[in-house]
């Protein structure tokens, strides 16, 4: 049976549970163990797909098309293990499954209750789809003490009771503040948080103390004493200079060693930290800046484009440059401001997006990048807007648009059934709006000798999608005659997946989200190439 490691958080949120779990997973994996990472989110949304990035940051998409919490992105980037639909669950999903079953009479007349029905469903999730993994690391969202996360904490308590202490380990991540006024490190919040955890029946085995500075032995001993955890299992994690240092730092603090010791296991091989050391060095020492503008709706929100921000950093690592993100809010972007705003940038990126707000500014910025030969990468919505811009200004289709934004436009972007009936362009009705999303991995065939073919060094790729609207393929020849090539197509040749501009140093739009597959230890070729082109701009 796999061993289960449950990670809870205490005192405050945003302590880096995701990063700690991902770093531990890397360390265990690199010592020869098979690891799986899972996330349980206490909110009532069935999945984060419908949540605004303002609320919850980016929606991360898996290979198998699940819309998940952004922590799964951390997991993938650190471990290079692809997450699955079955690796993220929310309270909303648990309740909706239980209620569905109840409506079908699945509980045979019993009173359906949080304990045992909700907790049973949570335990099913924890074990589901696990085969030969050595470790399953399950992170519980939220902070211990929240009403919302109680059923999850209760479920892991039961789980440990049922499967035995030798198969389950509890890690609690807390905050150990430093008070400037008294020049002291305070352990009381940690003591309280552990007390809270113990009041619901969980004694942590390892406590990870997040702190701004190293915790003196005396204070660690105090935590050990009051929280009833062996001193070697009080692990400190001091703020790192870059997140890529986290696996190195946890290794130094012997987190992996204590975990293996708990389960009476030995490393199968020496962990390899050299790649992390190498990229940490690059990130900390590279000074040469490359300014990349990102124009979007949520640019000022830290986590809204998490994978994208990361992928750009990876592109910088690949080229030994420091990527400076120039975040431009699209909402009130005026045409006459574009020149000034893009003055000092060497690349423009328009990310994915939904809805009309701020689109005209994006379209004008794309035109500016096209005409001034600034490297441009359009992702999903960004590619769609590049098509609209080109149709309006080069094909002279003045009313060109996307039906997502304007039902009366000439649909260069639309739902498939708005343009794909017997080769004629027809407009959809309101009923068509409920088209389903294209989610997860889809293949694209790349045209020989195209830029994209050279970048990927392959004629077939698979990338992750999350969109409803598609480029109207009926206009392909018109676009190509004017120099905008549809260089990547779906295998049935119906759906444009990649566009690129001839006579431009670097102008590429992709219908998918390459950022979800970029890893710090293997930067995505599209981002490496984009940053390289930007580095060489001017
Ligand atoms: N809103 C667009 C669509 O649904 C683009 C989505 C995106 O950028 N992820 O097709």
Tell me 231's DSSP state: G
Task: Choose one of 308, 379, 467 to mutate for the ligand 1 pocket test, by most ligand atoms within 8 angstroms of C-beta.
Answer: 467
d(CA 493, CA 276): 41
Task: Choose one of 415, 466, 496, 514 to mutate for the ligand 1 pocket test, by most ligand atoms within 8 angstroms of C-beta.
Answer: 466
d(CA 242, CA 276): 10
User: Do residue 240 and residue 301 come from a single domain?
Assistant: no
428 occurs within a structural domain: no
Assign 421 to helix, strand or coil. strand
pLDDT at 427: 42
Percent of the chain residues topping a pLDDT of 70: 96
Higher confidence at residue 449 or residue 49? 449
User: Do residue 235 and residue 322 come from a single domain?
Assistant: no
User: Do residue 394 and residue 497 come from a single domain?
Assistant: yes
Query: Mean of the pLDDT values across residues 15-28?
Result: 94
Regarding beta strands 484-489 and 35-41, do their DSSP bridges make them parallel or antiparallel, or are they unpaired?
unpaired
Q: Count CB neighbours of 475 within 10 A.
A: 23
d(CA 361, CA 315): 26
User: Do residue 295 and residue 196 come from a single domain?
Assistant: no
Regarding beta strands 35-41 and 88-90, do their DSSP bridges make them parallel or antiparallel, or are they unpaired?
parallel
Going by pLDDT thresholds of 50, 70 and 90, the confidence category of residue 434 is: very low
426 occurs within a structural domain: no
Q: How many domains does the chain have?
A: 2
Query: Mean of the pLDDT values across residues 19-40?
Result: 96
Q: Any bridge partners for residue 324, and if so which?
A: 291
Going by pLDDT thresholds of 50, 70 and 90, the confidence category of residue 330 is: confident
The residue written with tokens 């500075």 in the block is 213
Nearest CA to ligand 1 atom 6: 467
User: Do residue 195 and residue 94 come from a single domain?
Assistant: yes
Going by pLDDT thresholds of 50, 70 and 90, the confidence category of residue 243 is: very high
Q: Which residues are catalytic?
A: 380, 513, 515
Q: What CATH number is attached to the domain comprising 204?
A: 3.40.50.300
H/E segment holding residue 500: strand 496-501
Percent of the chain residues topping a pLDDT of 90: 79
d(CA 13, CA 407): 42
Higher confidence at residue 435 or residue 150? 150
- Ligand 1 atom showing the smallest separation from residue 354 Cα: 1
404 occurs within a structural domain: no
For the Cβ of 466 lying below 6 angstroms from any atom of ligand 1, the answer is yes
Phi, psi torsion values for 252, nearest 5 degrees: -60, -35
429 occurs within a structural domain: no
User: Do residue 123 and residue 243 come from a single domain?
Assistant: yes
406 occurs within a structural domain: no
Q: Secondary structure of 427-474 in the HEC alphabet? A: CCCHHHHHCCCEEEEEEEEECCCCHHHHHHCCCEEEEEEEECCEECHH
For the Cβ of 467 lying below 6 angstroms from any atom of ligand 1, the answer is yes
User: Do residue 295 and residue 261 come from a single domain?
Assistant: no
User: Do residue 79 and residue 191 come from a single domain?
Assistant: yes
Q: In the numeric block, which tokens belong to residue 507? A: 């102008």
User: Do residue 123 and residue 78 come from a single domain?
Assistant: yes
User: How many Å lie between the centroid of ligand 1 and the Cα of residue 394?
Assistant: 23
User: How many Å lie between the centroid of ligand 1 and the Cα of residue 310?
Assistant: 20
d(CA 313, CA 117): 44
Residue 433 pLDDT > 50, yes or no? no
Q: Which range marks the domain in which residue 27 is found?
A: 3-278
| Boundary residue ending a domain (278, 297, 318) | 278
pLDDT at 381: 96
User: Do residue 307 and residue 171 come from a single domain?
Assistant: no
Mean pLDDT across the chain: 92
pLDDT at 316: 96
pLDDT tens per residue, range 494-531: 899 999 999 999 999 999 999 999 999 999 999 999 99
d(CA 34, CA 36): 7
The residue written with tokens 């907790």 in the block is 119
424 occurs within a structural domain: no
For the Cβ of 381 lying below 6 angstroms from any atom of ligand 1, the answer is yes
For the Cβ of 95 lying below 6 angstroms from any atom of ligand 1, the answer is no
pLDDT at 430: 43
Task: Choose one of 305, 377, 404 to mutate for the ligand 1 pocket test, by most ligand atoms within 8 angstroms of C-beta.
Answer: 404
For the Cβ of 380 lying below 6 angstroms from any atom of ligand 1, the answer is yes
H/E segment holding residue 184: strand 184-185
Residue 302 pLDDT > 90, yes or no? no
pLDDT tens per residue, range 176-218: 999 888 888 899 999 999 999 999 999 999 999 999 889 999 9
416 occurs within a structural domain: no
Q: What angle do CA 441, 446, 447 make, to 5 degrees?
A: 165
| Boundary residue ending a domain (278, 307, 339) | 278
Going by pLDDT thresholds of 50, 70 and 90, the confidence category of residue 357 is: confident
User: Do residue 256 and residue 107 come from a single domain?
Assistant: yes
User: Do residue 10 and residue 37 come from a single domain?
Assistant: yes
417 occurs within a structural domain: no
Q: What CATH number is attached to the domain comprising 374?
A: 3.40.50.880
| Boundary residue ending a domain (239, 259, 278) | 278
Nearest CA to ligand 1 atom 5: 381
Nearest CA to ligand 1 atom 1: 354
User: How many Å lie between the centroid of ligand 1 and the Cα of residue 381?
Assistant: 5
For the Cβ of 353 lying below 6 angstroms from any atom of ligand 1, the answer is yes
């Amino acid at each position: 049976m796999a061993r289960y490691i449950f990670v809870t958080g205490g005192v405050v949120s945003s302590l880096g549970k995701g990063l700690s779990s991902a770093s531990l997973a890397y360390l265990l994996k690199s010592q020869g163990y098979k690891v799986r990472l899972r996330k349980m989110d206490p909110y009532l949304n069935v999945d984060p797909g419908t949540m605004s990035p303002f609320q919850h940051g980016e929606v991360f998409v898996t290979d198998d098309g699940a819309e998940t919490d952004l922590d799964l992105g951390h997991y993938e980037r650190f471990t290079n293990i692809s997450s699955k639909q079955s690796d993220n669950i929310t309270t909303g999903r648990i309740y909706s499954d239980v209620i569905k079953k109840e409506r079908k009479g699945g509980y045979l007349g019993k009173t359906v209750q949080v304990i045992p029905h909700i907790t049973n469903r949570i335990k099913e999730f924890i074990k589901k789809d696990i085969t030969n993994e050595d470790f399953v690391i399950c992170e519980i969202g939220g902070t211990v003490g929240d009403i919302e996360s109680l059923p999850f904490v209760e479920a892991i308590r039961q789980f440990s009771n049922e499967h035995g202490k030798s198969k389950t380990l509890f890690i609690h991540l807390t905050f150990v503040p430093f008070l400037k006024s008294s020049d002291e490190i305070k352990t009381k919040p940690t003591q309280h948080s552990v007390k809270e955890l113990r009041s619901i029946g969980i004694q942590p085995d390892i406590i990870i103390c997040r702190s701004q500075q190293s915790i003196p032995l005396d204070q660690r001993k105090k935590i050990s004493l009051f929280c009833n955890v062996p001193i070697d299992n009080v692990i400190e994690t001091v703020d790192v200079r870059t997140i890529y240092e986290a696996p190195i730092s946890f290794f130094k603090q012997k987190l992996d060693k204590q975990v293996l010791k708990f389960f009476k296991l030995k490393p199968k091989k020496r962990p390899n930290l050299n790649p992390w050391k190498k990229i940490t060095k690059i990130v900390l020492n590279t000074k040469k800046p490359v300014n990349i503008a990102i124009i979007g709706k949520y640019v000022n929100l830290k986590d809204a484009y998490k994978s994208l921000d990361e992928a750009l950093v990876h592109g910088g690592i690949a080229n030994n440059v420091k990527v400076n993100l120039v975040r431009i809010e699209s909402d009130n972007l005026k045409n006459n401001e574009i020149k000034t705003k893009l003055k000092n940038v060497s690349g423009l990126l328009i990310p994915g997006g939904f809805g009309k707000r701020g689109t005209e500014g994006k379209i004008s910025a794309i035109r500016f990048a096209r005409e001034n030969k600034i490297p441009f990468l359009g992702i999903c919505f960004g590619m769609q807007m590049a098509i609209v811009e080109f149709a309006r200004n080069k094909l002279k289709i003045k009313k060109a648009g996307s039906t997502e934004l304007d039902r009366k436009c000439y649909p260069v972007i639309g739902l498939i059934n708005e343009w794909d009936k017997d080769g004629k362009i027809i407009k959809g009705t309101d009923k068509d709006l409920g088209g389903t999303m294209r989610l997860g991995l889809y293949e694209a065939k790349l045209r020989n000798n195209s830029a994209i073919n050279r970048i990927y060094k392959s004629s077939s790729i698979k990338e992750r999608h999350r969109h409803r609207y598609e480029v109207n393929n009926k206009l392909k020849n018109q676009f190509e005659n004017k120099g905008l090539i549809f260089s990547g197509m779906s295998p049935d040749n119906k759906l444009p997946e990649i566009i690129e501009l001839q006579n431009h140093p670097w102008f590429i739009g992709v219908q998918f989200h390459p950022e979800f597959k970029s890893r710090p230890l293997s930067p995505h070729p599209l981002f490496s190439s984009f940053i390289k082109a930007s580095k060489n701009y001017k």
